[in-house]
Amino acid sequence: MSYLLHIDSSSLAEASISRQVAQSFREGWDGKVVYRDLAAAPVPHLNAAGITARITDPAQHTYEQAAEAALQDELIEEFLGASAYLFTVPMYNLSMPSVFKAWLDQVMVFGRTFKPAPAAGRPAVLISARGGSYAPGAPNHGLDYVVPATEAVLGRPDQLGLDVATVVPELTMAPHSPTLAELLPKHEASMTDAHDRARQLAATMATAAAA
């Protein structure tokens, strides 16, 4: 196995629940890790130069197109060089952090990372913490625009095609919000389950890598 690519997008540093659960996965991973912290070092959003560079002969690139193409090449080579993936993508305002969306837009290039999808079938873990609950039966069920969209881009055969397992620590605001205090036991159970599942996934992926 070459390496695990860990893409982190939480803005909360060590206070981030998504990062804490990801650390449980990392502790069970025995191998090289390439880590990119998008909160600390965000990649730029895709712009006109980056889009047109993809359909322009490199010999005809402007300075701006050449710079954007070089960034995309760096990110794509890093992505394709990995054998497994860990994505830390918390819920911000019902959606994914903009820094993660910016990374996705730079990496998603037709004919290079999807259609065809050279990384198809490689294992990936998505960790997405959220302050409340969006599970079936919860008042906010149906308002999760993080996990479904991220799973689709990462996992669909016509997209990146990764084999995605998702871990969702929820109700993370319960220890801090009086209105959620009665849900604290559910939050604690969710945290335990998330850390356990992260460790199990790391062990399973490490065993598969060593086979």
How many domains does one find in the chain? 1
The beta strand positions in 83-169, using DSSP E, are 84-88, 123-127, 163-167
Whole-model pTM: value is 0.94
63-73 per-position pLDDT tens digit: 999 999 999 99
85 has a pLDDT exceeding 60: yes
> What is the rounded CA–CA span in Å between residue 125 and residue 63?
37
Q: 105 lies in which domain range? A: 4-210
Give the other-Cβ count within 10 Å of 185's Cβ. 10
Peptide bond into 116 cis (omega under 30): yes
The span from the CA of 173 to the CA of 167, in Å, is 17
97-131 pLDDT tens trace: 999 999 999 999 999 999 999 999 999 999 999 99
Q: What is the CATH number of the domain that holds 182?
A: 3.40.50.360
Question: What tens digit of pLDDT does each residue of 39-63 get?
Answer: 999 999 999 999 999 999 999 999 9
